């Protein structure tokens, strides 16, 4: 029993003296920015603490670079560099090498895709010649705001844009039925059109595109 007691006491004594304190911490060499830039003959991988900007620097064999541990997207390299936005209109094939470069390259593409949506073609009564109006925004809300059925747990209504949040376009209207030269759309989506001819079934379809401002 005495041996066990002495062994336990010895272990506790060693543990007590092994606690980390200020004197046992590993310290990096320190230098001002000017002093750091004046150092010569260092090897790649050398580390120091820059007292000018309070950051750790690493020498990469060519120059001093910061060595943060936050792993920002600009610091995370891709396993394989690739041109993620090499599409029609791309000014040139440039391989993205970091996560940040990929995000910046695809952001314009995804932004354009999310801002444009295409409702079904709208049927216009063309049985009588004359000038008429139709509210494209009302057509949009009637088609999309209140679903007939939704999945379990889904909200009863679909979020919609305000009338002034959108740009409105008519991308096709039969010129034999509509005077396309006088068509106009106001900022709230009200289309004014003139019927100049009757189709066989007295109805004609127009194609509309909405773009989020």
C-alpha distances in Å from residue 8, one per residue of 1, 20, 113, 124: 11, 21, 70, 93
Q: Where do the structural domains in the chain lie, given as residue ranges?
A: 1-69, 75-114, 118-212
Residue 30: what pLDDT?
93
Residue 205: what pLDDT?
95
**Taking the chain, what is the end-to-end CA distance rounded to the nearest angstrom?**
83
Tokens of 14: 């060693």
Q: How far apart are CA 147 and CA 118, in angstroms?
A: 17
Instruction: Please spell the DSSP secondary structure of 49-76, one letter per residue.
Output: EETTTTEEEEE-SSSEEE--SS--GGG-
How many CA atoms, within 13 angstroms, populate the side-chain half-sphere of residue 92?
2
Instruction: Please spell the DSSP secondary structure of 119-142, one letter per residue.
Output: PPPEEEE-SS-EEEEEEHHHHHHH
C-beta of residue 31 within 8 angstroms of C-beta of residue 48? yes
Reported as a single tens digit per residue, the pLDDT across 6-28 is 445 544 555 555 566 677 777 88
C-alpha distances in Å from residue 192, one per residue of 15, 98, 168: 87, 50, 12
Task: List residues bridging with 187 in a β-sheet.
Answer: none
Q: How far apart are CA 58 and CA 46, in angstroms?
A: 6
Reported as a single tens digit per residue, the pLDDT across 88-134 is 555 566 788 888 888 887 777 776 666 888 889 999 999 999 999 99
Classify domain 1-69 at the CATH class level: alpha beta
C-beta of residue 127 within 8 angstroms of C-beta of residue 197? no
Backbone angles phi, psi at 206, to 5 degrees: -120, 145
C-beta of residue 145 within 8 angstroms of C-beta of residue 192? no
Average per-residue pLDDT for the chain: 83
C-beta of residue 158 within 8 angstroms of C-beta of residue 144? yes
């Amino acid at each position: 029993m005495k041996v066990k007691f002495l062994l336990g006491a010895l272990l506790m004594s060693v543990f007590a003296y092994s606690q980390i304190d200020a004197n046992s911490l590993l310290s990096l060499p320190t230098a001002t920015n000017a002093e750091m830039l004046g150092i010569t003959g260092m090897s790649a991988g050398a580390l120091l603490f820059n007292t000018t900007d309070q950051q750790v620097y690493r020498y990469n064999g060519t120059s001093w670079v910061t060595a943060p541990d936050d792993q920002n997207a600009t610091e995370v390299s891709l396993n394989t560099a690739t041109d993620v936005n090499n599409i029609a209109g791309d000014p040139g094939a440039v391989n993205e090498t970091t996560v940040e470069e990929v995000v910046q390259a695809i952001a314009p593409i995804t932004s354009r895709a999310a801002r444009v949506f295409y409702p079904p073609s709208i049927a216009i009564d063309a049985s009588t010649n004359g000038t008429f109006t139709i509210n494209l925004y009302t057509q949009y809300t009637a088609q999309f705001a209140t679903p007939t059925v939704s999945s379990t747990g889904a909200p009863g209504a679909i979020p919609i844009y305000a009338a002034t949040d959108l740009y409105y376009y008519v991308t096709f209207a039969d010129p034999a039925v509509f005077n396309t030269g006088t068509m106009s759309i106001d900022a709230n989506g009200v289309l004014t059109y003139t019927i100049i001819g009757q189709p066989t079934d007295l109805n004609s379809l127009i194609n509309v595109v909405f773009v989020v401002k």
